[in-house]
Structure 1
Amino acid sequence: MTQMVTTLRSLKVKPAEIHAIDLGQGVSFDPPMLLAPMEGVTDRTFRGLVLEQNGAASVGGACTEFQRVTGVPLKTEKLQKELGSRIDGVAVGIQLMGNQPDVVGESARNAAEAGADFIDLNFGCPAPRVFQHCAGSALLNDPPLLEAMIRATVAASPIPVTAKIRGGVEHSDNLEEIAKRVEQAGATSLTVHGRLRSDRYSDPPNWDYIVRAKSQVQIPVIGNGNADTPESIERMFKETGCDGVMVGRGAMRDPWLFRRWMALRNGTPQPQWTRTDVYDWLQQYHQRMSAGGTLPRHSLGRLKQAIKAFREGGHLPEGAVNTALRCKAVDQLYMELGF
């Protein structure tokens, strides 16, 4: 990696004041930076690689992709497999999504047995199929059921329970009520994504939803939504007063984002990755997927997803990526990228 000497000090900006987030029962996010759960992205391989290469000094927590709970509790063995490898000092939770309080609660108990550090409940997923099945963000339209879900999970779980929401479905009229119910039900932190369900992932997000939720509760509030550079992470801390920041797609475009954010805060040069770093990262990702038993066609699909993210981040040439996306084999993909 090369280094870029851009620091908050050089920009004459004072770092936001931050503290570790204590979830109770010996679990904390220290520093208060989290890798977001992203369906189809943050599987155990991607998550493990990002956490390892950033380290516990730069990222304090992460979650699995959401685990859909329908009808019967999820088994401990399945949840243990989803957790994958860990690094010391980083709390890793299992995110559950469903609409049956008792079944989700039993799944949470099994997740604790599987080794999860905490349970996160998904009340933010905007996907149409999820919404149609009254899960994810659909529960924002049913505050009593959302509260019942949290209460049942807290009652069943021997580990901390957190929740993730959006500002609302089509409006944010009940955001304050939702935030209060989350706290009253026993969740020990609340993550707020700065968009409505109807916004999907359109830009820009509305960080005012984070501010409004924060004003209603005493539990830590974690902000989420377009905090995808070291500078925008600092802005989110300062502009919203949030206690922590959760990074999603920014970590796809820049897998070393947490390290660069910490360097910015510390007044040290930010690491800037090169094409060689990109190649090494892709190689490690592919090797770990293969070692974990991922089918070749699925590995190729994940690599294509990764190079699209690198292209969006401006770190791979568009023409080469467009050609590589049509490749049928990994070796051919690397060749088209010039590796």
Structure 2
Amino acid sequence: MPLTHRLTLLSPLCLLLAACTDPGTTTTDGSATAETTTSTSTSAPTTDAAPTTSTGSDTTDTAGTGDTTGVDTTGVDTTDGDTTTAGGECPPVTQLLGPAGGELTLCGATLRVPADAVAEEVLFGIEVIDPPADPPFEQEFASPVFRFTPDDVVFAQPVELILPRPVTDSRISLGRHVPEDDAFWIVEACDVTDTTIGQSYYQLATYAALRGTYDYPDSTSDLGEGTIELEILGVPASFPIDASSFGIYADAADGSRTVTLKSVREVDGGFESLRIDFAVDSTGDVANLVAVEWLSTVDAGGYTYIADLIGSDGVITLSDATGDHYAGELSAVAHGGNPPHDEPLQATFDVTVEKFTFPPELSCMGGGG
């Protein structure tokens, strides 16, 4: 099962108060932290447009002396079209910044270093570079590719980076280049406006704004149909996929997909909800159970199974996988209740799902903006 399926599922758990950290970077306490991502790989077309002149000016110190001089640079028109070319018109900017912090700008990109992010002067910089890898699956570059430096220092306070983005109805995301994978990963962007997209990090890297090439529905409302028959605590329960629920799938570049089923039903004295996530390989025949979560406002709180993390013995078998229709059965040993204990559950399902993926910023505090 691809790792991207697991990390996509766990994205709602990434509710970080200060910043979302990068994959494999280190937090201030020295512990490694994995960042939420969505699928990577394969190319998507990019269409370049000539940059227009920026109204601002930047400071440049190519010698790294810390003595900056103001020079006019050209920026990126983010009102429409693509914003993927600017390297020749945007010479790199660098500046020594110490404990007092400071700010650098280049071609619509901004790097803001707060006070006490570093204990001594550090040379910060922004440069526009050629894309080191293709954009992720079903994405295209919507800004120049910016390298923010230093990219080998962990800061005491998160530094903020802001990238320009075009005004468009298409979904805009933030992409981070991961050298060890030679790929861009979509990461959370908790500061999104009509013309910019940004986030705060404890460590810098190479970033670009991304535009989705697939026109997703605005929400999960009315997506999917069918029924899930669940048995847990020895009691059967029927969960419909209807207007108050959803059945969705997300494709990956290798032809595999992740399916998510979510249903809420009224019961005497409250509500019960059921969520099932499973991955299907490129043949459409082999499935892996990723997670099951049953919650109740009435009985025992709820039970959860997450592959290799919570519970055990998760198995799913498909009896039909024709197009966007899935039928089959699953079982798992979930963990929960009060006092906490293991509880077996099983379910059969017959559903039709529709294509949708959640915006990464939903992992941010407040659900993104």
TM-score range, shorter chain: under 0.3
- Relative to the length of structure 1, the TM-score reads 0.28
User: Which of structures 1 and 2 has the larger relative contact order (alpha carbons within 8 angstroms, sep 6+)?
Assistant: 1
Which structure has the bigger radius of gyration? 2
- TM-score where L is the length of structure 2: 0.26
